[in-house]
């Protein structure tokens, strides 16, 4: 557990992941958490990030800030996903090292692995073959970030390391029908479309889902390791086809609508199950099942909608 008084910067605290990390750190007793909204600090601006670190001088940084989106958002704007995420990663990691941050945890995604990686995907599959085209920009930026951490650790002895979570979901997700990830988008579709729910692709793609509170617990676990691996996968081991996911969301929402598949839309990576043997061998495993997590997330979707705090 980080010391209760350790000054910890969480980048991206208003996003689903950053908010979950802040909740978990607070629950673990941390009282000195530093945050900045996007408006207060533009993470693509190197000079501003440098000034921020010089002023605050955090001891630890957790980088959960990123431009994220589902297959629709990524494939329509690979350039933006590459540019913004590259800038955010380079600035938050490099300037942290310059300002004397002792420990940094960088968060990425399992889309850094090759499209046809062996399944389940081990960390060693990194950079062994071509990336999935629909999210190539995002993946390249995240690969740069994890490599910068690795190089700084090797060259300067800094304890900078990375976690690569599988597809995430949970409270505070983005429910935008066009730009969102599949799981929150399906919740919104089944909650709002009464007769027919149009879904993308063939439904045959396979995904693994992890509740964001499980990822936050993995972050605390990783920050506790004296000598963490440079790169660790974080997953639930529970994989489903998109078709099975759709049935599960339909059930969780109580919808009676008919599903219609639009095979002109992309399936993306055929399968993306990460090998979590490394993190499990060190003593961490997920604890929220997909069924349980889905029920919780449908409830939080409804609560966020009623409270007017939902991101659509
Ligand atoms: O979460 P998602 O958008 O992205 O899921 P990826 C895409 C899968 O769900 C594809 C199917 O197989 C889609 O065909 N799908 C079915 C839908 N209906 C829908 C729908 O209404 N909306 C969406 N979005 N998908 C993302 C990357 O890949 O994974 C990101 O683009 C990130 O960079 C994230 O790495 C974790 O799982 O394909």
Q: Dmax of the chain from CA atoms?
A: 59
- Tokens standing for 184? 């929150």
Q: What does the pLDDT average to over 239-264?
A: 97
- Residues in contact with ligand 1 by the CB-under-6-Å rule are 70-72, 74, 109, 111, 134-135, 138, 167, 180-182, 185, 199-201, 205, 207, 242, 265-269
> How far is the centre of ligand 1, averaged over its atoms, from the C-alpha of 39 (Å)?
28
The closest-lying atom of ligand 1 relative to the alpha carbon of residue 272 is 37
The DSSP string of 26-83 is HHTT---EE---TTT--TT-HHHHHHHHHHH--SEEEE-------HHHHHH-HHHHHH
- Residue pair 99/57 in contact (Cβ under 8 Å)? The answer is yes
Write down the pLDDT at residue 10.
98
Instruction: Write the pLDDT tens digit of every residue in 45-95.
Output: 999 999 999 999 999 999 999 999 999 999 999 999 999 999 999 999 999
Q: What does the pLDDT average to over 172-192?
A: 97
The H or E element that residue 246 is part of is helix 242-253
What does CATH list as the number for 8-307? 3.40.50.720
pTM for the whole structure = 0.97
CA torsion sign for 203, 207, 208, 211 is negative
Task: State the chain's mean pLDDT as an integer.
Answer: 97
> How far is the centre of ligand 1, averaged over its atoms, from the C-alpha of 74 (Å)?
9
Write down the pLDDT at residue 189.
98
Write down the pLDDT at residue 124.
98
Task: List the catalytic residue out of 9, 138, 169, 175.
Answer: 138
pLDDT above 90 (res 245): yes
Q: Which residues contact 108 (CB under 8 A, 6 or more apart)?
A: 142, 143, 145, 146, 162, 163, 164, 165
d(CA 216, CA 220): 7
Of 201, 180, 208, the C-alpha closest to 259 is: 201
pLDDT band at 1 (very low <50, low <70, confident <90, very high): confident
Q: What does the pLDDT average to over 290-303?
A: 98
- Which residue reads 């063939």 in tokens? 202
φ and ψ of 145, to 5 deg: -60, -45
- In the chain, what percentage of residues exceed pLDDT 70? 100
pLDDT above 90 (res 115): yes
Strand duo 60-63 + 159-165: pairing: unpaired
Write down the pLDDT at residue 81.
98
Q: What does the pLDDT average to over 281-290?
A: 98
The closest-lying atom of ligand 1 relative to the alpha carbon of residue 111 is 35
Pocket test for ligand 1, best of 115, 141, 182, 184 (most atoms within 8 A of CB): 182
d(CA 288, CA 300): 15
Instruction: Write the pLDDT tens digit of every residue in 212-237.
Output: 999 999 999 999 999 999 999 999 99
- In the chain, what percentage of residues exceed pLDDT 90? 99
d(CA 254, CA 235): 27
Burial (Cβ within 10 Å: 0-12, 13-18, ≥19) of residue 203: middle
d(CA 52, CA 266): 41
CA torsion sign for 120, 125, 130, 132 is positive
Of 145, 167, 155, 141, the C-alpha closest to 231 is: 145
> How far is the centre of ligand 1, averaged over its atoms, from the C-alpha of 269 (Å)?
9
Write down the pLDDT at residue 2.
85
Task: Please state the domain extents for the chain.
Answer: 8-307
d(CA 163, CA 284): 13
Write down the pLDDT at residue 231.
98
d(CA 93, CA 104): 8
- Which residue reads 């936050």 in tokens? 216
């Amino acid at each position: 557990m980080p010391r209760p008084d350790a000054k910890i910067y969480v980048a991206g605290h208003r996003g689903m992941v950053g908010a979950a990390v802040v909740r978990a750190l607070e629950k673990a007793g941390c009282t000195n958490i530093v945050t900045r909204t996007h408006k207060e600090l533009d993470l693509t601006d190197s000079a501003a990030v440098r000034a921020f670190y010089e002023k605050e001088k955090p001891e630890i940084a957790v980088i959960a800030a990123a431009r994220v989106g589902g297959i629709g958002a990524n494939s329509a704007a690979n350039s933006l996903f590459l540019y913004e995420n590259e800038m955010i990663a380079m600035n938050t990691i490099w300037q942290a090292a310059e300002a004397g941050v002792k420990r940094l945890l960088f968060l990425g995604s399992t889309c850094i692995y090759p499209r046809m990686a062996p399944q389940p995907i081990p960390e060693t599959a990194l950079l062994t073959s071509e990336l999935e085209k629909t999210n190539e920009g995002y993946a390249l930026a995240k690969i740069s970030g994890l490599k910068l951490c690795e190089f700084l650790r090797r060259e300067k002895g800094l304890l900078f390391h990375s976690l690569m979570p599988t597809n995430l979901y949970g409270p505070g997700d983005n429910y935008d029908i066009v730009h969102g990830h599949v799981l929150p988008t399906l919740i919104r579709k089944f909650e709002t479309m009464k007769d027919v729910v149009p879904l993308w692709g063939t439904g045959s793609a396979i995904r693994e889902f992890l509740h964001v509170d499980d990822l936050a617990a993995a972050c605390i676990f990783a920050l506790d390791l004296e000598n963490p691996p440079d790169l660790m996968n974080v997953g639930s081991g529970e994989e489903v086809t998109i078709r099975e996911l759709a049935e599960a969301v339909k059930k969780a929402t109580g919808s009676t609508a008919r599903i219609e598949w639009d095979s002109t839309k992309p399936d993306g990576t055929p399968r993306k199950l990460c090998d979590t043997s490394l993190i499990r061998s060190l003593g961490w495993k997920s604890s929220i099942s997909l069924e349980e997590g889905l029920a919780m997330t449908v409830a939080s979707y409804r609560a966020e909608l009623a409270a007017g705090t939902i991101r659509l």
